[in-house]
């Protein structure tokens, strides 16, 4: 029942020796979601032993090359590996012609369906709902169609306490009732209360990916309370003018979102090649939001199961 984020690249558009461009892999209960596809994402997946064939869905924030150019090599490899399972791609509308062109030239080797869902929402919307996770997408402010993504684990079923099973001699049918969070009412009128015999094993975990964006008012409410927030911080504060001119964020702007949203932990990346000292990114973020981390390529965030916080 893992909830694990691997950051595959922390560079921005200008290539830097040994740093790769934006790509994250979120693994939820063994299901892999790939978020953005900077160049050589497949090399990074090999390096960190992430099975290429396990990718279930791909989420592209926007079509800038540093978030996209690794996609086509990856799709070609999936074709060579004889993938047959459909692949979901969620991306802005303007990705459509890019995909169409790729398929017209390189699609012959792909024997799997690509299900492209164009993103057009003006505020957060659920775009995918599986047994274990719900994914929302929301618009960002980057000068062209750009979207962020929020992955939220679904609330688990109730578990039934072992001691309650023996204490009340629960039948399988009664256990099923308790697992749905319902009280058991027996023929003799006695009752086994779900609130006593059952419990939620954990609280849902959540991760938000805020790709390239300048600040905008709604953002912190859209990522409110997530356990882990990735927010781009292309520049340290010294280059705030460049951030504004290029629809990007600074360290302090990213940290302000984290603070206002009350997230568990902030991770920043997408560093400009101008800013060589990554520790400065972390220092500046921490001045506003102490639980900040400036990511390096390959960083792993394994979110532990949380005790359930709501109604038991």
Kindly list the residues in this chain that would bind a second copy in the complex (CB under 8 A): 13-18, 20, 39-40, 42-43, 46-47, 63, 65-66, 69-70, 72-73, 76-77, 80, 97-98, 101, 105-106
CA distance 95 to 102: 11
CA distance 92 to 117: 8
- Which parts of the chain fold into alpha helices (H)? 41-47, 65-68, 71-80, 96-106, 162-168, 172-179, 194-197, 219-222, 240-245, 251-261, 278-286
Specify whether 188 is catalytic: no
Query: Least distance to a second copy from the beta carbon of 71, Å?
Result: 10
Query: Least distance to a second copy from the beta carbon of 274, Å?
Result: 12
For a second copy, which is the closer residue by CB, 39 or 232?
39
Look at the block and give the residue holding tokens 């922390």: 10
- Tell me, rounded to whole angstroms, the distance of Cα 213 from its chain centroid: 16
- Which parts of 20-156 fold into alpha helices (H)? 41-47, 65-68, 71-80, 96-106
For a second copy, which is the closer residue by CB, 77 or 132?
77
Query: Least distance to a second copy from the beta carbon of 119, Å?
Result: 18
Report strand pairing: 31-35 vs 55-59: parallel
For a second copy, which is the closer residue by CB, 97 or 176?
97
For a second copy, which is the closer residue by CB, 73 or 298?
73
Q: Is 106 left (phi over 0), alpha (psi -120 to 50) or beta?
A: alpha
From 27, 36, 56, 66, active-site residue: 66
Query: Least distance to a second copy from the beta carbon of 63, Å?
Result: 7
Could you list the active site residues? 66
């Amino acid at each position: 029942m893992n909830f694990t984020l691997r950051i595959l690249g922390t560079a921005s558009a200008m290539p830097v020796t040994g740093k790769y461009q934006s790509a994250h892999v979120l693994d939820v209960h063994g299901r892999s979601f790939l978020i953005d596809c900077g160049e050589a994402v497949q090399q990074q997946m090999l390096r960190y032993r992430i099975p290429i064939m396990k990718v279930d869905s791909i989420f592209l924030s926007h079509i800038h090359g540093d978030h996209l150019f690794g996609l086509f090599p990856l799709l070609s490899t999936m074709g060579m590996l004889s993938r047959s399972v459909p692949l979901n791609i969620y991306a802005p509308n303007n990705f459509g012609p890019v995909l169409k062109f790729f398929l017209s030239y390189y699609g012959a080797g792909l024997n799997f369906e690509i299900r492209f869902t164009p993103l057009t929402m003006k505020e957060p919307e659920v775009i995918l709902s599986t047994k274990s996770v719900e994914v929302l997408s929301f618009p960002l402010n980057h000068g062209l169609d750009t979207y962020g993504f929020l992955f939220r684990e679904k609330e688990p079923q109730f578990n039934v306490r072992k001691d309650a099973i023996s204490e009340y001699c629960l039948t399988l049918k009664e256990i099923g009732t308790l697992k749905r969070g319902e009280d058991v009412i027996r023929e003799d009128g006695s009752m086994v209360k779900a609130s006593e015999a059952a419990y939620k094993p954990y609280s849902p975990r959540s991760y938000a990916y805020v790709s390239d964006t300048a600040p905008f008012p709604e953002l912190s409410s859209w990522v409110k309370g997530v356990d882990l927030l990735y927010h781009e911080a292309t520049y340290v504060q010294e280059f705030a003018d460049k951030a504004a001119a290029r629809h990007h964020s600074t360290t302090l702007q990213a940290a302000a979102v984290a603070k206002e949203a009350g997230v568990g932990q902030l991770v920043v990346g997408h560093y400009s090649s101008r800013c060589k000292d990554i520790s400065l990114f972390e220092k500046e973020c921490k001045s506003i939001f102490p639980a900040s981390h400036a990511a390096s390529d390959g960083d792993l965030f394994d979110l532990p199961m949380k005790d359930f916080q709501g109604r038991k």
